[in-house]
């Protein structure tokens, strides 16, 4: 860093993006990073849940990356904890369990030759249609899979997952997230293997024994050894702006420690601020309100995130399915996807039990989001039992865990609104926002780590204002990262 050693960097959020940023800043020697985390442990979205002697990730955080820098970091901090697994996944469709991604011959047996012929004809006809002037998620998916398959399977699954009419989703949703690639690729998969680096779904992946929090512990240990500090149970209430419009301090409330009656107000001053919190929250914390941030604040309010509820069930079986991922596209089932923790690491549950976690997306304020945990648990239990995976009497216990702002919702105008937000934040001169929530970016865990490393490299190499400007100049690059399911 050019400006002199030991400057203070305040990082909001100790998820993998924040931890990677802190580690690289501390290694550079010019910054003294301090992480502020509202929870009682680091990890953010990459956390594990423990109850009644079992453990499960909140979202199955497999280790797979096409970014050499991230691969090298993970190897350096967690090599002894990594295991290699062969992927096993199924999809529940029309009361049948099919391999996922679907195999055409398997689909043929499940759906019949007439329906499959319609899928093929529809795919061919779609190739003859002129492309619309403005692509949407729906238009790209139709082009990739054909109208009949889109209407039969992909439209209802998309509406169920994103809780919005698929015609109102931006095309970027399809560009980064299509697991099967296209109907053509699906068929080609019968004839040849996908080339490395062009996979549309993983065949093998690595996992950190003990769950995502093991990697988080390794990242934090490395960051701490390099000189970073961590404040837990510390919720930022305000980012105080000075007379020039730069961030001067983070004002936080430290949650009461066990056995104490009150929390304590804290003030953390710094020359640099890095945020990984959701953009509407970030813009609301920048005070006093300034006219030049008004457009950014209004745009942030138009950005919408999906909340998620995780229904975790302990089942009295050694193994439920052995699958890593289970997919539930049909609308009558409340959950979109499930996973069995022991299929990633057998030590996640006792030998005679297993735990399955079911993901439910919801839009803030909708009827589902307002339902009680008890009703969501009851409904999810009835629905998963109806699939035949196990009997209700085999369930020992269940719970519901909710995560707000879990995933950005790419509505048609999201890129316009996001551009206004980032333009406003750029003008502050000493604040960088990154990560899935902080950059409103569909990504995997390795992408968030890479964002932290890239931001820190710039901040270690240039004057702060120059580095911040360079960061926002390349924000669009992260929209091109490809998600491999």
The model's pLDDT over 67-100, given as tens digits with 9 standing for 90+, comes to 999 999 999 999 999 999 999 999 999 999 999 8
Q: Which pLDDT value is given to residue 441? A: 94
- Three-class SS state of 207: strand
Token representation of residue 246: 């730069």
Q: Is the pLDDT of residue 40 over 80?
A: yes
pLDDT tens, 213-251? 999 999 999 999 999 999 999 999 999 999 999 999 999
The band of 485, judged by pLDDT with boundaries at 50, 70 and 90, is low
Which strands, in side-by-side order, build the sheet including 96-99? 96-99, 89-93, 325-327, 337-340, 354-363, 304-315, 395-409
Q: Once rounded to an integer, what is the mean pLDDT over residues 28-57?
A: 94
Q: Among residues 484, 478, 37, which one has the least CA distance to residue 252?
A: 37
- Three-class SS state of 443: coil
The band of 106, judged by pLDDT with boundaries at 50, 70 and 90, is confident
The band of 357, judged by pLDDT with boundaries at 50, 70 and 90, is very high
Q: Which pLDDT value is given to residue 417? A: 98
HSE-CB at 368 with a 13 A cutoff on CA atoms is 20
Domains along the chain with CATH numbers: 7-42+215-302+411-480 (3.50.50.60), 105-200 (1.10.3110)
Q: Which pLDDT value is given to residue 3? A: 45
Pairing of strands 229-231, 31-36: parallel
Q: Is the pLDDT of residue 189 over 80?
A: no
Q: Which pLDDT value is given to residue 281? A: 98
Provide the percentage of residues in the chain whose pLDDT is more than 70.
Answer: 92
Q: Once rounded to an integer, what is the mean pLDDT over residues 467-472?
A: 97
The band of 192, judged by pLDDT with boundaries at 50, 70 and 90, is very low
Q: Which pLDDT value is given to residue 410? A: 97
- Three-class SS state of 483: coil
The band of 143, judged by pLDDT with boundaries at 50, 70 and 90, is very high
The band of 101, judged by pLDDT with boundaries at 50, 70 and 90, is confident
More confident residue, 188 or 361: 361
Q: Once rounded to an integer, what is the mean pLDDT over residues 449-471?
A: 96
- Cα Rg of the chain (Å, integer): 23
Q: Is the pLDDT of residue 264 over 80?
A: no
More confident residue, 100 or 162: 162
More confident residue, 154 or 198: 154
Q: Is the pLDDT of residue 194 over 80?
A: no
Q: Once rounded to an integer, what is the mean pLDDT over residues 337-357?
A: 96
HSE-CB at 426 with a 13 A cutoff on CA atoms is 17
Model confidence, pTM:
0.92
What one-character-per-residue DSSP string does 27-70 give? HHSSEEEEEE-SSSSSBTTS-EEEETTEEEESS---B--S-HHH
Q: Which pLDDT value is given to residue 187? A: 53
Cis preceding-peptide flag for 154 (omega within 30 of 0): no
Lowest model confidence (mean pLDDT) among 111-120, 180-189, 375-384: 180-189
Q: Which pLDDT value is given to residue 181? A: 57
Lowest model confidence (mean pLDDT) among 49-53, 101-105, 340-344: 101-105
Q: Once rounded to an integer, what is the mean pLDDT over residues 334-342?
A: 96
The band of 2, judged by pLDDT with boundaries at 50, 70 and 90, is very low
The band of 107, judged by pLDDT with boundaries at 50, 70 and 90, is confident
Instruction: Please state, in angstroms and rounded to a whole number, the distance separating the CA atoms of residues 268 and 255.
Output: 15
Mean predicted lDDT score pLDDT of the chain: 91
Provide the percentage of residues in the chain whose pLDDT is more than 90.
Answer: 79
Q: Which pLDDT value is given to residue 186? A: 52
The band of 379, judged by pLDDT with boundaries at 50, 70 and 90, is very high
Strand residues in 106-263 grouped as ranges (E):
204-208, 229-231, 234-241, 247-254
- Residue 426 CA to chain centroid, in angstroms? 24
């Amino acid at each position: 860093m050019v400006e002199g050693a030991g400057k203070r960097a305040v990082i909001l959020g100790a998820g993998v993006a924040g931890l990677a940023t802190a580690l690289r800043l501390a290694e550079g020697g010019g910054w003294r990073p301090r992480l502020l985390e509202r929870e009682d442990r680091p990890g953010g979205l990459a956390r594990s849940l423990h109850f009644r002697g079992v453990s499960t990730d909140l979202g199955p955080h497999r280790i797979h990356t096409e970014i050499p820098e991230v691969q090298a970091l993970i190897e350096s901090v967690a090599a002894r904890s990594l295991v290699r697994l062969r992927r096993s996944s199924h999809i529940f469709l029309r009361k049948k369990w099919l391999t996922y991604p679907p195999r055409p011959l398997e689909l043929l047996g499940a759906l019949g030759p007439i329906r499959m012929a319609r899928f093929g004809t529809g795919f061919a006809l779609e190739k003859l249609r002129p492309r619309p002037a403005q692509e949407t998620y729906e238009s790209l998916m139709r082009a990739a899979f054909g109208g009949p398959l889109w209407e039969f399977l992909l439209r209802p699954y998309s509406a169920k997952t994103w809780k919005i009419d698929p015609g109102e989703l931006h095309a970027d949703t399809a560009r980064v997230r299509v697991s099967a690639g296209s109907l053509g690729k699906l068929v080609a998969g019968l004839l040849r293997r996908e080339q490395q680096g062009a996979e549309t779904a993983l065949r093998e992946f690595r996992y950190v024994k003990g769950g995502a929090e093991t990697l988080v512990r390794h990242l934090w240990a490395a960051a701490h050894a390099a000189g970073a500090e961590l404040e837990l149970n510390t919720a930022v209430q305000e980012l105080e702006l000075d007379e020039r419009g730069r961030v001067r301090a983070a004002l936080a409330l430290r949650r009461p420690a066990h056995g104490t009656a009150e929390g304590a107000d804290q003030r953390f001053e710094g020359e640099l601020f890095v945020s990984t919190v959701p953009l509407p929250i970030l813009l609301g914390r920048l005070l006093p309100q300034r006219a030049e941030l008004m457009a950014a604040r209004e745009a942030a309010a138009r950005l919408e995130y999906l909340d998620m509820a995780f229904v975790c069930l302990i089942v009295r079986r050694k193994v439920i399915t052995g699958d890593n991922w289970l997919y539930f596209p049909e609308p009558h089932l409340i959950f979109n996807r499930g996973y069995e923790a022991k299929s990633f690491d057998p030590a996640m549950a006792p030998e005679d039990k297993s735990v399955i976690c079911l993901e439910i997306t919801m839009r803030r304020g909708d009827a589902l989001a307002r339902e009680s945990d008890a009703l969501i648990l009851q409904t999810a239990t009835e629905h998963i039992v109806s699939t035949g995976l196990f009997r209700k009497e085999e369930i020992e216990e269940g719970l519901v865990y909710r995560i707000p702002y879990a995933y950005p919702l790419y509505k048609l105008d999201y890129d316009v609104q996001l551009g206004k937000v980032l333009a406003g934040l750029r003008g502050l001169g000493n604040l960088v926002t990154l990560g899935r929530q902080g950059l409103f970016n569909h990504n995997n865990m390795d992408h968030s780590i890479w964002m932290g490393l890239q931001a820190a490299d710039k901040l270690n190499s240039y004057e702060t204002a120059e580095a911040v400007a360079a960061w926002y100049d390349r924000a669009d690059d992260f929209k091109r990262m490809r998600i491999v399911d």
